[in-house]
Structure 1
Amino acid sequence: MELLRMVGMVLASFFGVRKRANHEADLAKVNMVLLPFVAVALALMIGLLILGVVELIVNGTSSAQGF
């Protein structure tokens, strides 16, 4: 459950949709040693997801034109 709390906290931080009170409450309960690893892993996953979507769009449109 703590991992899900960290994931939610990191995602909210990435997108900037967190109230100060909720943020401070989560900081008091979270394991600060694992937090940077979760943040880096989520950033990597989001980057790979964006890269995958771009690859699908680029490769999908080029084959649809018959080239």
Structure 2
Amino acid sequence: MEFLRLVRIVLSSFFGVRKRASHEADFANVNIVLLPFVAVFMAACIGAIIFGMVHLVAQSTSTMQGF
């Protein structure tokens, strides 16, 4: 349950959709030591998803003739 809370904190900070009251409430109840590890893991996951999507699009358009 705490891991999901950390993931929610990290994702909301990535996208900037956080209210101040919920931000302060989450940081009162979370393990700060694990937060950087979850943030790096989530950044790597988002980067891998973006890389994969670009690779799929680039691969599908390279086989099309005439464009």
Deviation of residue 26 (structure 1)?
A: 0.3
The Cα offsets for residues 21-54 of structure 1, whole Å up to 9 and x where unpaired, read as 0000000011011000000000000001000000
Equivalent residue, structure 2, for 1:48: 48
Give the Å deviation of 1:63.
1.5
What CA distance in whole angstroms lies between the structure 1 residues aligned with 2:65 and 2:33?
A: 50
1:14 corresponds in structure 2 to 14
Residues 1:36 and 2:53 aligned together: no
The amino acid of 1:5's aligned partner reads: R
Point out the more displaced range, 40-49 or 57-66: 57-66
Root-mean-square deviation (Å): 1.1
Higher helix share: 1
**TM-score, scaled to structure 1:** 0.94
Asked whether 1:58 is paired with 2:41, we answer: no
Instruction: Find runs of 4+ consecutive structure 1 residues off by over 6 angstroms.
Output: none
**What residue ranges of structure 1 are gaps of 5+ in the alignment?**
none
Q: Distance in 2 between matches of 1:3 and 1:22?
A: 17
Q: Could you tell me which runs of 5 or more consecutive residues in structure 2 were left unpaired when the two chains were aligned.
A: none
Question: Identity, % of aligned pairs?
Answer: 64
